[in-house]
């Protein structure tokens, strides 16, 4: 496994792996899994997905200052570099790209990606500028690593949708693959931030996945496991979206130590709230704070 911390190191790694320096071969030579480190089983599942899609896998480890707000947890975000390298080696990763913030951003940086209107709703409403920061670093990582394929988790559903939008809007020659959310046996979605949770916080945090389950309460079918979509049967006259929101909200409201930022049922492509007559896919997404830790989770529903 090659560890590169700058562009020259990346080019050398490409050469060593026999990928060559040519940008965007349009094939399946190299898959990138962008991460902020503190790797857990969710990240590892994406690495395994990447290995199925390409001959070589690159993992980037970079805590991106641009995507944290001034009052957020950039400085205390967990950093576990040695363990991350071990995890990457165990998963057969070819290249780890771990640049410094100084290497990534010029001090007089001017230009970045705008996430547009879609970047100012849902997560964007509560984290202004966050999705601009995500898209900017992802575009930079694509340009530096030059992957054919890039793998992201459905756990950050709006991020994944916006990356697909950026690829379409800016004609980026990268195939985007989404991976299902990996959970603890009790339903809690794995997150690098879970390690901040006290024992009581962790119990309260379970309300997020329980709320999503309640919203998807009429699930008939767990799907084929590829995208975890729950299929809901809408009986004649039933206002499924309103019922879904109500059932989920009731679970959140029963947990007094949660501060809910949002619970929304949105169109997967636009993240606009769906109306009560909506049929087809929708994402039920939640964000809440437990103590000083902010958690997000979501589930994809197919309302028929």
Count other C-beta atoms under 10 Å from residue 33's C-beta: 30
List the catalytic residue out of 43, 56, 130, 278.
Answer: 43
Widest Cα–Cα separation across the chain: 62
| Helix (H/G/I), strand (E/B), else coil: 124 | helix
DSSP 141-203: HHHHH--SEEEEEGGGHHHHHHHHHHHHHTT---EEEEEPPPB-TTSPBP-GGGGG--HHHHH
Residue 24 CB, shortest distance to ligand AMP, in Å, is 20
- Judged by beta carbon, residue 134 or residue 301, the one nearer ligand AMP is 134
Q: Nearest 5°: phi and psi at 293?
A: -105, 130
Q: Taking CB under 6 A as the rule, does residue 158 contact ligand AMP?
A: no
Count of residues of this chain found to bind ligand AMP when the rule CB under 6 A is applied: 17
Q: Taking CB under 6 A as the rule, does residue 51 contact ligand AMP?
A: no
Q: Taking CB under 6 A as the rule, does residue 147 contact ligand AMP?
A: no
What is the spatial distance between Cα 10 and Cα 2, in angstroms, rounded to a whole number?
9
Q: Nearest 5°: phi and psi at 13?
A: -60, -45
Q: Distance of CA 264 to CAs 46, 249, 272, 286, Å?
A: 26, 10, 9, 7
Q: Taking CB under 6 A as the rule, does residue 97 contact ligand AMP?
A: no
Q: Which of 192, 218, 229, 300 binds ligand AMP (CB under 6 A)?
A: 192
Q: Taking CB under 6 A as the rule, does residue 203 contact ligand AMP?
A: no
Q: Which of 35, 60, 229, 293 binds ligand AMP (CB under 6 A)?
A: 35
- Judged by beta carbon, residue 189 or residue 240, the one nearer ligand AMP is 189
Q: Is 43 assigned a catalytic role?
A: yes
Q: Which of 95, 98, 137, 190 binds ligand AMP (CB under 6 A)?
A: 190
Residues that bind ligand AMP (CB under 6 A): 35-36, 42-43, 45-46, 152-153, 155-156, 179, 181-182, 189-192
Residues designated catalytic = 43
């Amino acid at each position: 496994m090659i560890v590169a911390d700058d562009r020259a190191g990346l080019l050398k790694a490409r050469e060593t792996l026999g990928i060559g320096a040519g940008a965007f071969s349009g094939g399946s030579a190299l898959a990138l899994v962008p991460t902020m480190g503190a790797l857990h089983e969710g990240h590892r599942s994406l690495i395994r997905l990447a290995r199925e899609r390409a001959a070589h896998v690159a993992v980037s480890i970079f805590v991106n200052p641009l995507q944290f707000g001034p009052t957020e947890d950039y400085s205390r975000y967990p950093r576990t570099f040695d363990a991350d390298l071990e995890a990457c080696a165990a998963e057969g990763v070819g290249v780890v790209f771990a640049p410094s913030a100084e290497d990534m951003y010029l001090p007089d940086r001017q230009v970045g990606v705008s996430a547009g209107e879609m970047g100012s709703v849902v997560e964007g409403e509560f984290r202004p500028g966050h999705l601009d920061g995500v898209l900017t670093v992802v575009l930079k990582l694509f340009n530096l690593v030059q992957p054919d394929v890039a793998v992201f988790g459905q756990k950050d559903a709006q991020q994944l949708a916006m990356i697909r939008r950026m690829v379409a809007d800016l004609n980026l020659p990268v195939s985007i693959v989404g991976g299902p959310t990996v959970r603890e046996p009790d339903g809690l979605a794995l997150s690098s931030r879970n390690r901040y949770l006290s024992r009581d916080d962790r119990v309260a945090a379970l309300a997020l996945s329980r709320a999503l389950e309640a919203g998807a309460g009429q699930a008939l079918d767990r799907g084929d496991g590829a995208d975890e979509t729950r299929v809901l049967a809408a009986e004649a006259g039933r206002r499924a979206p309103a019922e879904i929101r109500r059932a989920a909200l009731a679970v959140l409201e029963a947990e007094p130590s949660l501060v809910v930022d949002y619970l929304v049922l949105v169109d997967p492509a636009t993240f606009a709230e769906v109306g009560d007559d909506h049929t087809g896919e929708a994402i039920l997404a939640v964000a809440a704070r437990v103590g000083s830790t902010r958690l997000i989770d979501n589930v994809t529903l197919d309302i028929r």
